[in-house]
Amino acid sequence: MKFNRLNTVIFIGFLAIVGVIIMQLFLLNQAYIFEKRDTEDKIHFALQDVVEKIYRDNKSELPVANPIKKVSENYFIVNVNDVFENRILEHYLKTEFDKVKLELDFEYAIYDCSSESMVYGNYISIDGTPSKVCEDCFSKNTDLTYYFAIRFPHLKQSYFTSLSQYWVFTAVLFLVLIIYVYSVFLMLQQKRYTELQKDFINNMTHEFKTPLASILIASNYANTQNEIKDNPKLSKYMQIIINQSNKLNQHIEKILYVAKTDSNQIVLEKTKVDVNSVLELVKENILLKHQKSIQIDILLEKKYFVMADEFHFYNLIYNVIDNSVKYAENEASIQIKSNETNKGLFLNFSDDGVGIPEKDLPFVFDKFYRVARQDNKDIEGFGIGLSYVKRVCEWHKWNVSVKNNDDKGITVSIQINKNDYE
């Protein structure tokens, strides 16, 4: 795997999260060991005090050797080495366990010398609910004479219960790791799609633009020949070929612009642009392109200059006006006005077209979005014109908005920052 910047960040992030999880598991293990040791110490001290009380009742001396023997995780044998009563033993066990705050269910059994067997004592539940006893869990020890055995049936479960907050933290960390891995997967997938998109742009530039340029060159040359000029039908068909080729070329350019903006291949070259000159140039090209009756009134308050990328600024204006002309009914009337406020310069493009339904207004700048209309099939375009307009405004850190007029048509407003015009 090639370690570029993205892969390095992903790898370091993965190591960091794995390291945190390993540390959390280590802390969890340490907490488990500590909890286990603490519980065993409580059991040992409580049973030690029980033995001392029994010896005190019998007025005997305490043995030197440790009377408590741990047989298994939850099973203990206590050597008393003297007679004692069942009822007193149970009382002492309850009392001493309460002292050390050992909140565990337990059951005990006493060795009977006469029958040489373990006699089951009782099951003591902390919450008072009955539970299944296990008399067969107690086995006798041939090395001892006076002793009792005690068993904690839920000791292991108590360890995990007491560490509940650690389990929650560990689960959250694992969830973070899963989300991180999933996010990385999506990032790598998106990166792959971006690379495919770049390949598409390169291939499209070659596969579409080259043959289209050849068609235009050949068509324009053929259109100048006398055989074509003298034949009205051939001349008409040749003009159709040229017009449709130019139209296809414009569509390809728009698709390429959108693809380039998505792959961040756009670099702005800002210069001082004469707004009035751009508007006049766009007006001239629009009038040449469309066959319908068009009136475009440029009513700016004064001569403005903006700091912008001239190429994209021209396309921005062209797309706004072209969109208004396309959606005009029979005759298109467009007014371009300026308005200076404390927020900057507003260029307002108002038309008298069919307008936009209120439910569609929030989406008109979305890529490939087209307002549902009965004559949509008759209106050319891919729904990327206004999307491109919004992108150009975002690159320049400007704002663009659209609203319906009170009578008919819409107004598209472009807000240019104070520092970007004069």
pLDDT in tens, 213-232: 778 788 888 888 888 888 88
**CB contact set of 18 (below 8 Å; sequence gap of 6+):** 177
pLDDT on residue 85: 82
User: In this structure, what CATH number is given to the domain that contains residue 378?
Assistant: 3.30.565.10
Give the residue among 79, 54, 44 at the shortest CA–CA distance from 149: 79
- Of 231, 262, 293, the residue that ends a domain is 262
Q: What is the pLDDT of residue 264?
A: 56
| Cα–Cα dist 187/7, whole Å | 10
Q: Tell me the CA distances in angstroms from 45 to 56, 239, 307, one per residue in order.
A: 16, 105, 84
| Residue 146 placed within a domain | yes
Examine the fold and report which residue of 223, 240, 262 is the final residue of a domain before the chain moves on: 262
> 380 and 305, same structural domain?
yes
pLDDT of residue 348: 93
- For range 94-116, the mean pLDDT: 86
**Residue 176 within any structural domain of the chain:** no
The residue type of 272 is K
Do the domain assignments include residue 141? yes
In this structure, the answer to whether residues 157 and 198 fall within a common structural domain is: no
Q: Is 50 exceeded by the pLDDT of residue 376?
A: no
* 147/9 same-domain check: yes
Q: Pick from 118, 140, 162: which residue ends a domain?
A: 162
Domain that holds residue 277: 270-420
Task: Report if residue 72 sits inside a domain.
Answer: yes
In a domain, 183, yes or no: no
In whole angstroms, give the CA distance from residue 346 to residue 300. Answer: 10
3-class state of residue 383 by DSSP: coil
pLDDT for 315 equals 84
Residues 93 and 31 in one domain: yes
Tokens of 305: 């200059």
Cα–Cα distance, 8 to 16 (Å, whole number): 12
221 and 138 in one domain? no
The DSSP code for 421 is B
Tell me whether residue 184 is in a domain: no
Rounded to the nearest 10°, the torsion over CA 274, 276, 282, 287 is -160
Residue 183 — pLDDT band, cuts 50, 70, 90?
A: confident
Indicate whether 309 pLDDT > 90.
no
Same domain? 10 vs 101:
yes
Block residue for tokens 């008759």 = 378
If asked whether residues 252 and 275 sit together in one domain, one would say no
- The answer to the question of residue 89 being in a domain is yes
Token code pair at residue 13: 């992030």
Tokens 């209309």 label which residue? 373
Regarding whether 108 and 40 lie in a shared domain, the answer is yes
Residues 36 and 88 in one domain: yes
For the chain, the domain total comes to: 3
Q: Residue for token digits 């491109």?
A: 388
Distance between CA atoms of residues 267 and 390, nearest Å: 16
Helix (H) or strand (E) holding 176: helix 164-204
If you search the block for the tokens 């389990």, which residue do you land on? 167
E strand intervals along 154-280: 270-274
